[in-house]
Amino acid sequence: MKKLLFGALALGMLAACNTTTESTENTTDDALTSVASRKSCPSEEIRANLLATNPEAKARYSKIESGVDSFIKAKRAGRVNADGSIDIPVVVNVLYKTAAENVSDAKIAEQIAILNADFGGTNTDASKIPTEFSGVKAGDTKVRFHLVNTVRKSTTKTKWGTNDAMKKSTTGGINATSPSSYFNIWVVGNMGGILGYATFPESAGLWNDGVVIAAPYFAATGATAPYNLGRTATHEVGHYLNLRHIWGDATCGSDLVADTPTQTGANYGKPTYPMYNTCGGVSRSVMFMNYMDYVDDAAMFMFSAGQKDRIQATVASAGPRAGLRTY
């Protein structure tokens, strides 16, 4: 059973933050290098710190998870349906020092198209989903994205960290556009070993709510291999819509999704299916091709049905991101 008590989950996430060597969460310029050698997403560590230090955020988190549980139980009992498709309005904030960092309108359109394909289940590589997992694939999550504005700002800053400086004009960034009603993406230059990071729904509507992507890993055209299919954004948007890393950020941890096999940790590169892990005395292949793992972009191509339920609960009319139902 992959469900955990809310308090235990928060503590487990904090422990994972303190013990992991998989992620880089540097906020000083000198500590950052220019190229990511392994996929690194510090979203869970940032969240763990928030929940451990901010009682209001922890209370919002507990309320959200209780709501997700209620939504899923009601849906399975036939008492509630998802509120149809939602078309999320997107604002892309581009902070650039070089021409390469000033991502083009064409690349922004390409990234939006990738998100729509991945969350719509129409990605061409969905055909690679193993038969074992085809019965639990999400298919169409009923979430779509459309661009409403692009904000650009030239900067002299050469490196960015995870301290949200890019999200405030007073620290050289760009203020979010109405984050309760618009999904804000910040595209920045060099973040060293970090590809991107996101806020979870307990931050809905706050000044720093949204997703950050390093320009070398944004969209597909001209992006840096092996993270060059636009899946960094897919992964981070998954966090924004309340999906955890599939391994639960702990050895044999929980992502709060019943149909994703428990696994011993993150996977990297291009694993070969089947890839067996043993957790709780049970050996089975893991779903390394899930967007919420750490494999290369070309090796990830699915969400699960359980993840779809969590996404739908998050954007439902009573969910924490109901404000995105502007259009």
CA 260/CA 32 separation, integer angstroms: 33
Phi, psi (deg, nearest 5) at residue 302: -155, 150
Average pLDDT of the residues of the chain: 90
Do residues 31 and 192 touch, judged by C-beta distance below 8 A?
yes
Q: Give the model confidence (pLDDT) of 257-287 as tens digits.
A: 999 999 999 999 999 999 999 999 999 999 9
CA 306/CA 258 separation, integer angstroms: 6
CA 158/CA 140 separation, integer angstroms: 39
What is the number of other CB atoms lying within 10 angstroms of the CB of residue 70?
A: 14
Mean pLDDT value across residues 53-61: 97
Q: Is residue 16's pLDDT more than 90?
A: no
Band (pLDDT 50/70/90 cuts) for residue 80 is confident
Do residues 20 and 42 touch, judged by C-beta distance below 8 A?
no
Band (pLDDT 50/70/90 cuts) for residue 36 is confident
Q: Is 73 exposed, middle or buried (0-12, 13-18, 19+ CB in 10 A)?
A: exposed
CA 40/CA 293 separation, integer angstroms: 10
Question: What pLDDT is attached to residue 35?
Answer: 62
The residue ranking higher by pLDDT, 108 or 9, is 108
Is 236 catalytic? The answer is yes
Phi/psi region, residue 17 (left: phi>0; alpha: psi -120 to 50; beta: rest), is alpha
Q: Which residues contact 31 (CB under 8 A, 6 or more apart)?
A: 161, 192
Q: 43-53 vs 231-240: helix axis angle to the nearest 10?
A: 20
Q: Is residue 44's pLDDT more than 50?
A: yes
C-alpha 311: how far from its chain's center? Answer: 11
CA 109/CA 103 separation, integer angstroms: 10
Give the residues across from 278 on adjacent strands.
283
Amino acid at 208: N
Catalytic residue, from 45, 110, 202, 236: name it.
236
Q: Give the model confidence (pLDDT) of 129-149 as tens digits.
A: 999 999 999 999 999 999 999
Q: Is residue 24's pLDDT more than 90?
A: no
Among 169, 178, 187, 163, smallest CA distance to 236 is for: 187
Q: pTM score, two decimals?
A: 0.90
Mean pLDDT value across residues 185-209: 97
Question: What pLDDT is attached to residue 38?
Answer: 82
